[in-house]
Amino acid sequence: MKKLLAILLALVMVLSFAACTKTPGTEDESTDADANNSASTELKDVKVGFIFLHDENSTYDKNFIDAAKAACTEMGVEYAQKTQIPESNDCYDAAVELIEVDGCNVIFADSFGHESFLIDAAKKYPDVQFCHATGTQAHTAGLANFHNAFASIYEGRYLAGVAAGLKLNEMIADGKITADKAKMGYVGAFTFAEVISGYTSFYLGAKSVCPSVTMDVKFTGSWYNEQLEKEAAQALINGGCVLISQHADSMGAPTACETAGVPNVSYNGSTVAACPNTFIVSSRINWTPYFKYMIECVQKGEAIATDWTGTIETGSVVLTEVNEAAAAEGTAAKLEEVKGKLLDGTLEVFDASTFTVGGNAVTSYLADVDTDANYEKDTEVIENGVFHESKFRSAPYFDMEIDGITLLDRNYG
Amino acid sequence: MDNTKAVKHHHEPLVHIVKRDDMPSWKAWLIRIATIVISIFLMGCLSTMLTEKSLFETFEMMFRGVFGRIESGSTVMLWKYLQEIAILLCLALALTPAFKMKFWNCGAEGQALMGGLAAMMCMINLGQTLSYPVLLAVVIITSILAGAVWGLIPAIFKALFNTNETLFTLMMNYIATQIIAYYVYIVGGGSNIIQPVAEGNLPVIGNNRYLINIIIVAVICIFMYIYLKYSKHGYEISVVGESQNTARYIGINVKKVIIRTMVISGALCGVAGMLLVAGTDHSINTNTVGGQGFTAIMVSWLGQFNPFIMVLMTGVICFLRLGASKVADTCMLNASFADIVVGVVILCVVGCEFFIRYSVKFRHSKKEVKE
The per-residue pLDDT for range A305-321, each reduced to its tens digit, is 999 999 999 999 999 99
How far apart CA B182 and CA B166 sit, in angstroms, is: 25
Which residues is A78 bridged to in the sheet? Answer: A47
Find, in chain A, the residue whose alpha carbon is nearest to that of B185.
A413
Q: Where is B291: in which H helix or E strand?
A: none
B190 contact residues in A (CB cutoff 8 A): 190-193, 375, 399, 412
Name the minimum distance, in Å, from the CA of A240 to any CA of chain B: 29
Q: What is the percentage of chain A residues whose pLDDT exceeds 70?
A: 89
Q: What is the per-residue DSSP string for A68-93? A: HHHHHHHHT-EEEEE-S--SSHHHHH
Q: CB-based burial of residue B250 (10 Å sphere; 0-12 exposed, 13-18 middle, 19+ buried)?
A: exposed
Residues A55-64 have a mean pLDDT of 86
Q: Among B329, B331, B337, B362, pick the best mutation site for testing chain A contact (most A Cβ within 10 A).
A: B329
Q: What is the pLDDT of residue A165?
A: 96
How far apart CA A391 and CA A155 sit, in angstroms, is: 13
Rounded-to-10 torsion of CA B282, B286, B288, B291: 170
What sign for the dihedral angle of Cα B15, B18, B22, B27?
positive
A375 contact residues in B (CB cutoff 8 A): 189-190
Q: Among A14, A56, A101, pick the best mutation site for testing chain B contact (most B Cβ within 10 A).
A: A101
Q: What is the per-residue DSSP string for A173-200? A: HTTSS-GGG-EEEEEESSSSHHHHHHHH
Name the minimum distance, in Å, from the CA of B266 to any CA of chain A: 23
CB atoms B190 and A26 under 8 Å: no
Q: Give Cα A74 to chain centroid, integer Å.
A: 21
Name the minimum distance, in Å, from the CA of A1 to any CA of chain B: 12
Q: What is the pLDDT of residue B15?
A: 86
Give the single-character DSSP code of A339: H
Residues A240-265 have a mean pLDDT of 93
Q: What is the overall mean pLDDT for chain A? A: 89
CB nearest A19 (choices: B48, B185, B193): B48
Q: What is the pLDDT of residue A31?
A: 42
In this structure, are residues B61 and A97 in contact, taking their beta carbons and an 8 Å threshold?
A: no
How far apart CA A369 and CA A381 sit, in angstroms, is: 9
How far apart CA A306 and CA B311 sit, in angstroms, is: 45
Q: Among B37, B51, B281, pick the best mutation site for testing chain A contact (most A Cβ within 10 A).
A: B281
In this structure, are residues A200 and A405 in contact, taking their beta carbons and an 8 Å threshold?
A: yes
In this structure, are residues A61 and A110 in contact, taking their beta carbons and an 8 Å threshold?
A: yes
CB atoms A89 and B65 under 8 Å: no
Q: Where is A215: in which H helix or E strand?
A: strand A214-219
What sign for the dihedral angle of Cα B79, A84, B275, B111?
negative
Q: Among A3, A4, A14, A15, pick the best mutation site for testing chain B contact (most B Cβ within 10 A).
A: A15
CB nearest A86 (choices: B41, B188, B290): B290
Helix or strand or coil: residue B17? strand
In this structure, are residues B15 and B360 in contact, taking their beta carbons and an 8 Å threshold?
A: yes
- Has residue A28 got a pLDDT over 70? no
Q: Among A72, A96, A97, A220, pick the best mutation site for testing chain B contact (most B Cβ within 10 A).
A: A97
Q: What is the pLDDT of residue A23?
A: 41
CB nearest A88 (choices: B53, B76, B281): B281
Q: Using one digit for the tens of pLDDT, what is the confidence trace for A344-398?
A: 999 999 999 999 999 999 999 999 888 776 678 889 999 989 999 999 999 999 9
- Has residue A269 got a pLDDT over 60? yes
Residues belonging to chain A:
413
Find, in chain B, the residue whose alpha carbon is nearest to that of A5.
B38
Q: Where is A219: in which H helix or E strand?
A: strand A214-219
Q: Measuring CA to CA, how many Å separate B15 from each of A258, A261, B1, B6, B21?
A: 56, 60, 17, 12, 19
How far apart CA B267 and CA B116 sit, in angstroms, is: 11
- Has residue A280 got a pLDDT over 70? yes
Name the minimum distance, in Å, from the CA of B30 to any CA of chain A: 14
Q: Using one digit for the tens of pLDDT, what is the confidence trace for A103-130?
A: 999 999 999 999 999 999 999 999 999 9
Q: What is the pLDDT of residue B314?
A: 96
CB nearest A412 (choices: B41, B185, B290): B185
- Has residue A214 got a pLDDT over 70? yes
Q: How far apart are the first and last CA of chain B?
A: 25
- Has residue A27 got a pLDDT over 70? no
The amino acid at residue B69 is R
Phi-psi region of B73 (alpha: psi -120 to 50; beta: other; left: phi over 0): left
In this structure, are residues A46 and B81 in contact, taking their beta carbons and an 8 Å threshold?
A: no
How far apart CA B149 and CA B211 sit, in angstroms, is: 28
Q: Measuring CA to CA, how many Å separate B205 from each of A200, B201, B214, B300?
A: 50, 12, 11, 29
CB atoms B189 and A375 under 8 Å: yes
Name the minimum distance, in Å, from the CA of B346 to any CA of chain A: 19
CB atoms A23 and B53 under 8 Å: yes
Q: What is the largest CA-CA distance in chain B?
A: 83
CB nearest A101 (choices: B49, B68, B328): B68
Q: What is the CB neighbour count within 10 angstroms for residue A181?
A: 15
CB atoms B45 and A16 under 8 Å: yes
CB atoms A23 and B77 under 8 Å: no
Q: How far apart are the first and last CA of chain A?
A: 57
How far apart CA A234 and CA A255 sit, in angstroms, is: 10
Q: What is the percentage of chain A residues whose pLDDT exceeds 90?
A: 75
The amino acid at residue A336 is E
How far apart CA A167 and CA A183 sit, in angstroms, is: 12
Find, in chain B, the residue whose alpha carbon is nearest to that of A113.
B193
Report how many Cβ contacts below 8 Å link chain A to chain B: 112
Q: Measuring CA to CA, how many Å separate B267 from each of B122, B143, B298?
A: 17, 8, 20
Nearest alpha carbon to residue A193 among A51, A387, A408: A387
How far apart CA A302 and CA A106 sit, in angstroms, is: 13
What sign for the dihedral angle of Cα A324, A325, A327, A330?
positive
Q: What is the pLDDT of residue B10?
A: 56
Q: What is the CB neighbour count within 10 angstroms for residue B12?
A: 14
Residues A165-182 have a mean pLDDT of 95
Q: What is the pLDDT of residue B191?
A: 67
Q: What is the CB neighbour count within 10 angstroms for residue B205?
A: 12
CB atoms A192 and B76 under 8 Å: no
Q: What is the pLDDT of residue A129?
A: 97
Q: What is the CB neighbour count within 10 angstroms for residue B200?
A: 25
Q: What is the pLDDT of residue B253?
A: 95
Which residues, given as ranges, of chain B have pLDDT below 50? Answer: 1, 6-7, 366-371
CB atoms A80 and B329 under 8 Å: yes
Which are the contacts of A382, defined by CB distance < 8 A and separation ≥ 6?
A: A352, A362, A363, A364, A365, A388
In this structure, are residues B330 and A80 in contact, taking their beta carbons and an 8 Å threshold?
A: yes
pTM: 0.86
Helix, strand, coil percent values for chain B (each to nearest 5)? 75, 5, 20
Q: Work out the angle between the directed axes of helices B211-230 and B307-330 (0-180°, nearest 10).
A: 140
Q: Measuring CA to CA, how many Å separate A180 from each of A162, A205, B363?
A: 18, 17, 82
Residues A178-199 have a mean pLDDT of 93
B279 contact residues in A (CB cutoff 8 A): none
Q: What is the per-residue DSSP string for B18-38? A: EE-----HHHHHHHHHHHHHH
Give the CA angle between residues A14, A20, A26 to the nearest 5°.
Answer: 145
β-strands B358-362, B15-19 pairing? antiparallel
β-strands A405-407, A214-219 pairing? parallel
CB nearest A19 (choices: B49, B330, B334): B49
Q: What is the per-residue DSSP string for A237-306? A: HHTT-SEEEEESSSSHHHHHHHHHT--EEEESS--TTT-TTTEEEEEEE--HHHHHHHHHHHHHTPPPPS
Find, in chain B, the residue whose alpha carbon is nearest to that of A85.
B335
Q: CB-based burial of residue A374 (10 Å sphere; 0-12 exposed, 13-18 middle, 19+ buried)?
A: exposed
What sign for the dihedral angle of Cα A334, A335, A340, A342?
positive
Fold of A153-288+298-407: Rossmann fold (3.40.50)
